[in-house]
Amino acid sequence: MTDSAAVVRPMGSDDLAAADRVYRLAFGTQFGLPDPSRFRGDAQVLRGRWTTDPRPCFVAERDRRIVGSIVGMDWGSVFVLGPLTVDPAYADRGIGRLLMRPAMDFIAARGFALAGLFTFPASPKHVHLYESYGFVPQHLTPVLSSVALDSRLRGNDGIGEHANLLSDLPPAARAAARAACRAVSDAVFPGLDLTHEIEAIATQGLGDTVLLRDGGGISGFALCHGGAGSEAGSGVLFVKFACVRPGDAAGFMRLVEACERLAAVRGASRLVAGVNRARDGAYRAMRERGFRADLIGVAMHRPDGAGYNRPEIYAIDDWR
């Protein structure tokens, strides 16, 4: 059944508060929170993604009330869809499908090599919805966290001899650093480009980008959110995306350590990072460093295929 009174339109700045309310209510209800409106605390997901790129962001409106929304992230050759949320009071009325239409039009118009999303494998309703649009379930994506940050890192003023922060570079050097990051991600998956995310972190004050150095060049990077108003929330350092060149297991360990050091320097009590289980080396490395799963989702791809979820890829990402 489709709610014929619901209208889908582009998301505007005036919609953000109402869309955020629905987002928290939908997920908070799904997870059974006593107060669903407190889902994710003071973290912000929709506002940052809309500010970064409003083009793939839409709301569903009924009787002048926002009842659902969908957003996405343009990562060059890769599009990450979601979150898609609907007010629980309007569930099962086809509003999710109404929101999928403009998102799928955006994907078709841009011609992405890969479109992907994160959903819950135990929810047949969600899996079926996305399957009906050509997305195919892949491997599980555990969202890992570490609370036992090494006490040796506390009080350390740096993030290690092999890394520095983008914000520490002079402005004239930052464009070259972003280009070097683009070369690394392109080696992971042709055309994968996190430039929008790197710029968003800097311009919106969401955190910082860790740059891994090797022989003077950049061999890896990590996009880190931290604090209220970011996708992390207070007391958390969230690695939204990180990678090194394929097969560089040692470099990946140095990059993760740099993120741990940044968390310690910033006073975060938790470091959160998602790793798709098909990236076996990366997943095992995180487990060996004491990371444990808080939440498990499943990656769904369109078209069907591994994308960059392959054993030789050492990457962190969280598509929630």
Q: pLDDT tens-digit profile of 148-193?
A: 565 545 555 589 888 999 999 999 999 999 999 999 999 999 999 9
> In the predicted model, is pLDDT for residue 1 greater than 70?
no
- Structural domains of the chain sorted by starting position, each given as residue range(s) with its CATH number in brackets: 7-112 (3.40.630.30), 144-298+307-317 (3.40.630)
DSSP code at position 36:
G
Residue-wise pLDDT tens digits, 245-300: 999 999 999 999 999 999 999 999 999 999 999 999 999 999 999 999 999 999 99
The model's pTM: 0.95
* Residue-level pLDDT at 148: 57
> In the predicted model, is pLDDT for residue 3 greater than 80?
no
Bigger pLDDT: 5 or 233?
A: 233
Residue 249 vs residues 58, 111, 182, 184, 288: alpha-carbon distances, Å = 39, 32, 19, 14, 13
Compute the average pLDDT of residues 101-130.
97
pLDDT band of 216, cuts 50, 70, 90: confident
DSSP code at position 132:
T
* Residue-level pLDDT at 92: 93
- Greatest CA separation found in the chain? 60
> In the predicted model, is pLDDT for residue 71 greater than 60?
yes
> In the predicted model, is pLDDT for residue 108 greater than 80?
yes
284/314 Cα distance (integer angstroms): 10
Q: How many CB atoms lie within 10 A of CB 299?
A: 25
* Residue-level pLDDT at 215: 83
Residue-wise pLDDT tens digits, 16-31: 999 999 999 999 999 9
* Residue-level pLDDT at 242: 98
Of the candidates 42, 55, 46, 56, the one whose C-alpha atom is nearest the C-alpha of residue 15 is 46
Residue with tokens 């280009």: 179
Mean of the per-residue pLDDT values of the chain = 95
